[in-house]
Structure 1
Amino acid sequence: MSKKRVAIQGTRASFHEEAAYKYFGEDIEIVECVTFKQTCEAIKKGTADYAVMAIENSIAGSLLPNYALLQEFNFPIIGEVYLHIQLHLLALPGVKFEDIKYVHSHPIAIRQCNDFFEDFPHLQVLEKTDTAACAKNIRENNLTDTVAIANLTAAKMYDLQVLERRIETNKKNFTRFLILANEAVESSKNNKASICFQVGNTIGSLAKVLNIFVENNINLTKIQSMPIIGKPNDYNFYVDLEWGKESDYDHCMRKLLKAVVNLAVMGEYLKNPMK
């Protein structure tokens, strides 16, 4: 039986690879992609069976461009996974902190460490496409004046020393990743969904919709609004919701159909604990 092919944004030893292993297990084939859009294109072209996509971080917030990708490619969300993010400064062995001039990492990782770098204004913090790729670049180009913000897996893979440990602002730092596939997976165990809809631009229209969730014992875990391109004052609302009884969810969705515009179920799946 062939291995599941999982597309990730970034290179080996990135947080996306770590999330893929946490969700699928070790027996998978990793498909490296430079951008999030390329992970979706990999599913579309058939070079990957699944994609792992970061959607929000407990410090840096939502990755808004990825909501647009979910809308553009319309692949069903079949799962989620939370990863405890621990960020470290990695350098070539022997490099001292006073030798550093440049810091390279993904912009989301940088934002998670803003408090640390406020104490070192002389350092030039430069945004790159991937945390692990920054570590790899230091090793391949023998950069003695540069550090990367990355995880311990990258340090081990590229033989780098940990110059500073746990530099993230908040130690309870989690990133939520979505699992995308070409087809939805139906299961009686599903207890979470991601949906998208629009409401009328009138007073109380959103409040009326939110009250439908309350009346049907549905717990909203996230609501994110995104402007609709070319339609000023119109928004898509992306909502994550959880239920205890499937009948409550079914009844809620029937009510929503009458109350909103362009209701789309982006995925129904089993919620994953944050641990």
Structure 2
Amino acid sequence: MTDLAKIRKEIDDVDSKLLEYFEYRMDLAHKVAQYKKKNGLPVFDSAREKEKLDSLKKLIKDKDNTDAVVELFSQIMAISRRAQYRQLNTFFDLGFIAVNEFRAGSDTNIAYYGEPGSYTQQAMLEYFNGKGIGRPMGTFYEVMEALKENKADYGVLPIENSSTGTLADIFDLLAEYDNYIIGEHVVAIDHCLWGLKEAELSDIKRVYSHRQGLLQCMNFLKQYPHLELVEGGSTASSARRVYSDNDISQAAIASRKAGETYGLKLLKASIHNEDHNQTRFIIISNKKEYYKKANQISICFALPHRSGALYNILSHFIHNNLNLTRIESRPIKGKAFRYRFFADFEGSLEDVGVKNALYSIGEEALELKILGSYVPVQ
């Protein structure tokens, strides 16, 4: 027998013993779960886990193994917690109701950001097949408030652009308000430069648009360094401003629909940075409902400020076989250098694995909110 074969045989023997002790430990974890259930104790005990890891570190003979030992036993304890959650089956009521469809009728009020001719109005019309009464709002906040005050049945907001990324303000509002994502829609963005009918490109000194509109057209705008760039409302409201100010030196970056709505002149077509410029919009409601065939879930959560907190939370996706498709963080207002995480993952609110993951995260996070469940645009 070669030296390597002998060593491997010894490893196999050790692994067999490790397996035996692991299964014994899991049996003990089940007994702990029953005790905690009987006595109303939480599964997750951070103080106990820290105490356990500290005591193990003192027993390590080769200190070079410290990080590995901490990682190993952190995983073992995480596996034990998940087993206890599953055994107790004490999933909290998510509070969401499945519905067959979301539709708009002739009397359905839909609040959307922007003005007539905006991309958000286009998303609204396409998602609801031209039905419903569109209620234009000047800010993202006003859309949220309209739902909160039951002045609108649905809301439509932009949340991400393919070239400039997510709109951070929307994430903050989703965490703050009890409004929920029920759907999403993608619109192809075709930014154009619009001026008064008598204007020429050489006349323009000031350009208005939403901040995202300016960013998405920066490659074009950099060719004209003399231009003053002004952020102002939505792209559609910027078009309306050029029309109402009646100043030949002003122009707006807006959609074709917006420019045509306010009778402006097309000075330059398709000036966005990328050929395939798209914006993703979310459809929101103040009711905790979801389309029963929804297969994507959005959540946000805040974590204690300690080492390994995010690592432990992410393990719940892995061990429940859930595909995490997005995660990003946002500062929590009023709490310096503390962050809230926003995540999207595949699954149904009716799946046992999803319920187990959400329950586990809810037990270990400082806060958890389900932002909605919907069918993502492919």
TM-score by length of 2: 0.68
1:265 maps to a residue whose letter is I
2:360 and 2:267 map into 1 onto residues whose CA distance is 55
Q: Separation in 1 of the partners of 2:113 and 2:190?
A: 18
**Aligned twin of 1:15:** 119
- Per the TM alignment, residue 235 of structure 1 is displaced from its structure 2 partner at its CA by 1.6
Question: Is 1:130 matched up with 2:228?
Answer: no
Question: Are the structure 2 counterparts of residues 204 and 27 from structure 1 closer, same or farther at C-alpha, using a change threshold of 3 Å?
Answer: same
Deviation at 1:101, TM superposition (A): 0.9
Further displaced range: 232-241 or 190-199: 232-241
Match of residue 37 from structure 2: none
**Is 1:264 matched up with 2:343?**
no
Pick the structure with greater CA Rg.
2
Contact (CA 8 Å) 2:147, 2:153: kept in 1 or not? yes
Q: What are the residue-to-residue correspondences of 1:108-123 with 2, within 5 Å?
A: 108-123=212-227
Deviation at 1:133, TM superposition (A): 1.4
Alignment partner of 2:159: what SS? strand
Greater helix percent: which structure? 2
- The match for 1:246 is 351
- For the residue of structure 2 that corresponds to 1:81, the secondary structure is strand
Q: Is the 8 A contact 2:178 2:286 kept in 1?
A: no
CA–CA separation in structure 2 for the residues paired with 1:42 and 1:253: 29
What's the CA shift for 1:52?
0.8
Please give the secondary structure, in 2, of the residue aligned with 1:250.
helix
Tell me how far apart the structure 2 counterparts of residues 236 and 21 of structure 1 sit (CA, whole Å): 33
- Choose from 129, 142, 146 the match for 2:246: 142
* CA distance in 2 between partners of 1:255 and 1:184 (Å): 21
Q: Tell me whether 239-248 or 61-70 shows the greater mean CA deviation.
A: 239-248
Aligned sequence identity (%): 33
- Counterpart position of 2:44: none
Structure 2 counterpart of 1:219, from 312, 323, 329: 323
The offset of 1:195, in angstroms, is 0.5
Change (3 A) 1:172 1:248: farther
Separation in structure 2 between the aligned mates of residue 142 and residue 184 of structure 1, nearest angstrom = 46
Helix, strand or coil at the partner of 2:273: coil
Which residue identity is paired with 2:364?
A
Q: Report the more deviating stretch, 244-253 or 217-226.
A: 244-253
The size of the alignment, in residue pairs, is 273
CA contact (8 A) 2:183 2:282 kept: yes
Point out which structure has higher relative CO (alpha carbons under 8 A, 6+ apart): 1
Shift of 1:218: 2.0
Which of 283, 305, 310 is the aligned partner of 1:179? 283
TM-score normalized with structure 1 length: 0.92
Partner of 2:15: none
Deviates further, 226-235 or 113-122: 226-235
Q: Distance in 1 between matches of 2:174 and 2:366?
A: 18
Q: Secondary structure at the match of 1:79?
A: strand
Report how far residue 46 of structure 1 moved. Answer: 2.3
Query: Aligned with 1:108: secondary structure?
Result: helix
Q: Does 1:209 align with 2:313?
A: yes
Using the alignment, how far apart are the partners of 1:73 and 1:251 within structure 2?
25
Q: 1:2/1:28 Cα in 2 relative to 1: closer, same or farther (>3 Å)?
A: closer
Structure in which a larger fraction of residues adopt strand: 1
SS state at 1:186 partner? strand
Distance 1:39 1:105, change over 3 A: same
Change (3 A) 1:231 1:133: closer
Q: Do the aligned partners of 1:59 and 1:112 also contact (CA within 8 Å) in 2?
A: yes
CA contact (8 A) 1:8 1:33 kept: yes
The question of whether the paired residues in 2 share the 8 Å contact of 1:196 and 1:263 is answered with: yes
Q: Relative to 1, partners in 2 of residues 1:188 and 1:48: Cα closer, same or farther, differing over 3 Å?
A: closer
Gaps of 5+ in 2: 1-104
Corresponding residue of 1:86: 190
AA partner of residue 328 (structure 2): Q
Q: Deviations over 1:207-239 (max 9, x none)?
A: 222232123232222212122233334221111
Superposition CA RMSD, Å: 1.9
Inter-partner Cα distance in structure 2 for 1:231 and 1:206: 18
Equivalent residues of 2:329, 2:342 under 8 A apart: yes
